[in-house]
């Protein structure tokens, strides 16, 4: 029997366009009132073809908001010292308000050393230990872009989340852990599930909010989802799609979409869900960083 989509599809593409509009307004106002043009520097080491779309979108959208975009490509033979020297140079450059070093890095480079070399106030990814520490203790952190994008979509869909049961599937430093923190701050009762979780299906079935961030195609099954739950699918997995012709591929999330959409109250699609929101939040974080560096209250923009 074919399943039927009953869930509201959360349109991350449309929502991210709204977020970027807000960013563009703030950028214009920073220029007019303060004579400041925010600058975002992106450093890419090596060539990962999968990230080319992402990088192109990022550069295009940064420009569209009126910000300055600085782009650095370094060969995959780059040493840790060379990358640290680039990071230091950007730390000291007053035209650069935000720095993103694209991950993963080649194996000769220690990621933590590089991330923690970024000036915390320019760390628009929110990966620096100072920022994760601030997030964990209720301070003014730079919040990682993907979890921030998920939170904005959840707030837009649900409003007050107080008392809701949330499950985060995945415990990465980049998504799972900060996401759990944000849900906790929103007064949810939070479970973090992972590869050693005993009965994942039973855990997911309890949740009003499911955030899937494991990076395994369709591993969260639709029939685990509680009726009416809100499902945020962080996964972007490219899989073979022989039904579309030889050598064809398609993108799927970490959630089995069709079956989950038949049970959920609302769900994000892949593509067009979390991905575009991640980029929009990177731009938003760059404005936040610019304001903090210049002691400007963003509410006055
Ligand atoms: N320091 C760092 N920060 C990151 O945030 C970071 C990173 N490194 N390394 C790579 C990953 C990947 N990532 C994506 C963001 C948006 C889309 C995105 O917008 N995807 C679209 C289009 C997908 C497609 O068509 O290929 C979508 O989901 O609709 C994809 C991937 C950020 N990353």
**For residue 278, pLDDT beyond 90:** yes
Are residues 48 and 100 located together in one domain of the fold? yes
Are residues 90 and 155 located together in one domain of the fold? no
161 CA from centroid of ligand 1 (Å): 27
* Residue 284 domain-assigned (yes or no): no
* Residue 7 domain-assigned (yes or no): no
Are residues 118 and 174 located together in one domain of the fold? no
* Residue 180 domain-assigned (yes or no): yes
Q: Is the CB of 253 under 6 A from ligand 1?
A: no
Confidence bin at 100 (pLDDT 50/70/90):
very high
Give DSSP secondary structure letters for the chain.
------SEE--HHHHHHHHHHHHHHHHHHHHHHH----EEEEEEES--GGGHHHHHHHHHHHHHTT-EEEEEEE-TT--HHHHHHHHHHHHH-TT--EEEE-SSPPTTS-HHHHHTTS-GGGBTT--SHHHHHHHHTTS-PPPPHHHHHHHHHHHHHHS--TT-EEEEE---TTTHHHHHHHHHHTT-EEEEE-TT-S-HHHHHHT-SEEEE-S-STT-B-GGGSPTT-EEEE---EEEE-GGGSTT-EEEE-SB-HHHHHTT-SEE--SSSSHHHHHHHHHHHHHHHHHHHHTT--GGG-
**CATH number reported for the structural domain that contains residue 55 in this entry:** 3.40.50.10860
* Mean pLDDT score, 69-96: 97
* Residue 167 domain-assigned (yes or no): yes
* Residue 162 domain-assigned (yes or no): yes
% of residues, the chain, pLDDT over 70: 98
* Residue 130 domain-assigned (yes or no): no
Give 270's contacts (C-beta < 8 A, 6+ positions apart): 233, 235, 236, 251, 252, 253, 257
Are residues 153 and 266 located together in one domain of the fold? yes
Q: What is the pLDDT of residues 52-78, one digit of tens each?
A: 777 888 888 999 999 999 999 999 999
Which of 98, 125, 152 is the C-terminal boundary of a domain?
A: 125
Q: What is the pLDDT of residues 203-217, one digit of tens each?
A: 999 999 999 999 999
Q: Is 108 a catalytic residue?
A: no
Are residues 115 and 148 located together in one domain of the fold? no
Q: Is 102 a catalytic residue?
A: yes
Are residues 110 and 45 located together in one domain of the fold? yes
Atom 13 in ligand 1: residue holding the nearest Cα? 54
Are residues 268 and 161 located together in one domain of the fold? yes
Binding site, annotated residues for NADP(+):
170-172, 236
Are residues 87 and 148 located together in one domain of the fold? no
Kindly give the number of the ligand 1 atom that is closest to the alpha carbon of 48: 10
35 CA from centroid of ligand 1 (Å): 31
Q: Is the CB of 278 under 6 A from ligand 1?
A: yes
Are residues 184 and 87 located together in one domain of the fold? no
Atom 25 in ligand 1: residue holding the nearest Cα? 271
**CATH number reported for the structural domain that contains residue 215 in this entry:** 3.40.50.720
Are residues 112 and 224 located together in one domain of the fold? no
The residue that leads in pLDDT, 87 or 57, is 87
SS (H, E, C) 253-300: CCECHHHHHCCCCEECCCCCCHHHHHHHHHHHHHHHHHHHHCCCCHHH
* Residue 187 domain-assigned (yes or no): yes
* Residue 3 domain-assigned (yes or no): no
Kindly give the number of the ligand 1 atom that is closest to the alpha carbon of 145: 5
ipTM for the complex shown: 0.97
**For residue 2, pLDDT beyond 60:** no
Are residues 155 and 271 located together in one domain of the fold? yes
Q: Give me 264's structure tokens.
A: 């959920």
Q: How many folded domains does the chain comprise?
A: 2
Which residues span the domain enclosing 163?
Answer: 144-275
pTM: 0.97
Q: Is 185 a catalytic residue?
A: no
Are residues 67 and 189 located together in one domain of the fold? no
d(CA 108, CA 91): 22
Kindly give the number of the ligand 1 atom that is closest to the alpha carbon of 127: 1
**For residue 115, pLDDT beyond 60:** yes
């Amino acid at each position: 029997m074919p399943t039927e989509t009953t869930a509201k599809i959360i349109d991350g593409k449309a929502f991210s366009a709204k977020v970027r509009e807000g960013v563009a307004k703030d950028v214009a106002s920073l220029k007019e009132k303060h004579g400041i043009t925010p600058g975002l520097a992106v450093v890419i080491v090596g060539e990962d073809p999968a990230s080319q779309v992402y990088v192109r979108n990022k550069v295009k959208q940064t420009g569209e908001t009126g910000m300055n975009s600085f782009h650095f490509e370094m060969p995959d033979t780059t040493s840790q010292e060379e990358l640290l020297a680039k990071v230091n140079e950007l730390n000291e450059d007053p035209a650069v308000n935000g720095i993103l070093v694209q991950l993963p890095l080649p194996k000769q480079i220690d990621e933590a050393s590089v991330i923690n070399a970024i000036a915390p106030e320019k760390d628009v990814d929110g990966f620096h230990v100072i920022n994760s520490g601030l997030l964990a203790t209720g301070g003014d952190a730079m919040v990682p872009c993907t979890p921030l994008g998920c939170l904005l979509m959840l707030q837009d869909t649900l409003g007050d989340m107080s008392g809701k049961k949330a499950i985060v599937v995945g415990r990465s430093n980049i998504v799972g852990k900060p996401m759990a923190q944000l849900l906790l701050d929103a007064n949810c009762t939070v479970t973090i599930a992972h590869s050693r979780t005993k009965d994942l299906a039973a855990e997911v079935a309890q949740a009003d909010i499911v955030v899937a961030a494991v990076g395994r195609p369709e591993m969260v099954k639709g029939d685990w989802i509680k009726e009416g739950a809100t499902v945020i699918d962080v996964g972007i997995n490219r899989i073979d799609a022989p039904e579309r012709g030889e050598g064809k591929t398609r993108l799927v999330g970490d959630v089995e979409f069709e079956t989950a959409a038949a049970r959920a109250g609302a769900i994000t699609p892949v593509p067009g869900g979390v991905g575009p929101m991640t980029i929009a939040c990177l731009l938003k974080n760059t404005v936040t960083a610019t304001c903090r560096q210049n002691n400007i209250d963003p509410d006055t923009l």
